């Protein structure tokens, strides 16, 4: 099973992806992970990508697709993949569809974890992280980490202004993508404003 995972920052995509990896044996692939690994391994494609990254430029779609093709053909993807962070545009989506069709591994679904923006603002602005162990908590947990006793703090990118800006960018960039997958009859929307375990029951149900 091959899935594109969609959802705003803070919608809970990472949690659901981790559950799919654990229970269904799918391989979670993010663009960032592919780029970092290819550069680390000093593959030919990795070195091409590094040149763009070092110059502060976006890695071209064609190169990302080639890296994706290389990654998807590795043994750990046999049961299927969850694509996270790619595609980001309809142009990338069309290129991805073409590539996957060539490999005989077309998409089964575009899974959208949908949460009201105001709920996400509340979630992210109340999020706190431990300076010592990196544990994630909420403002309700207080200033002391329950795991190690370290100081809990709010990350710079979790302030309300930044969160709202991230959501605005997401909305502008992803709305056309949602429309594209709806038009392809691949879009599956899940209400993400519930307990993660309940959300996952629905995710498994629709993917079956």
> Which residues are annotated as catalytic?
13, 88, 127, 155, 166
Cα torsion angle, 19, 25, 28, 33, sign: positive
d(CA 105, CA 135): 37
Hey, how many other C-beta atoms are within 10 angstroms of the C-beta on 58?
10
d(CA 20, CA 84): 13
Only one residue has tokens 């073409």, namely 98
* C-alpha to C-alpha distances, 31 to 36, 61, 66, 68, 150, nearest whole angstrom: 9, 11, 12, 8, 32
């Amino acid at each position: 099973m091959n899935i594109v995972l969609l959802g705003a920052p803070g919608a809970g995509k990472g949690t659901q992806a981790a559950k799919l990896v654990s229970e269904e044996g799918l391989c979670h692939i993010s663009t960032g992970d592919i780029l970092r690994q290819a550069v680390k391994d000093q593959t030919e494609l990795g070195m091409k990508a590094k040149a763009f990254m070092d110059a502060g430029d976006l890695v071209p779609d064609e190169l990302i697709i080639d890296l994706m093709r290389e990654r998807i053909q590795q043994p750990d993807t046999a049961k299927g993949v969850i694509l996270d962070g790619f595609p980001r545009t309809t142009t990338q989506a069309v290129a991805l569809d073409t590539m996957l069709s060539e490999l005989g591994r077309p998409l089964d679904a575009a899974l959208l974890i949908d949460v009201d923006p105001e709920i996400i603002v509340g979630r992210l602005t109340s999020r706190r992280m431990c300076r010592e162990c990196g544990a994630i908590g909420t403002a309700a947990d207080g200033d002391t980490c329950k795991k190690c006793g370290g100081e809990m703090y709010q990350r710079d990118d979790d302030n309300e202004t930044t969160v709202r800006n991230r959501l605005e960018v997401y909305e502008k960039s992803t709305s056309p993508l949602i429309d594209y997958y709806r038009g392809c009859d691949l879009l599956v929307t899940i209400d993400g404003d519930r307990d993660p375990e309940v959300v996952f029951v629905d995710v498994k149900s629709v993917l079956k």
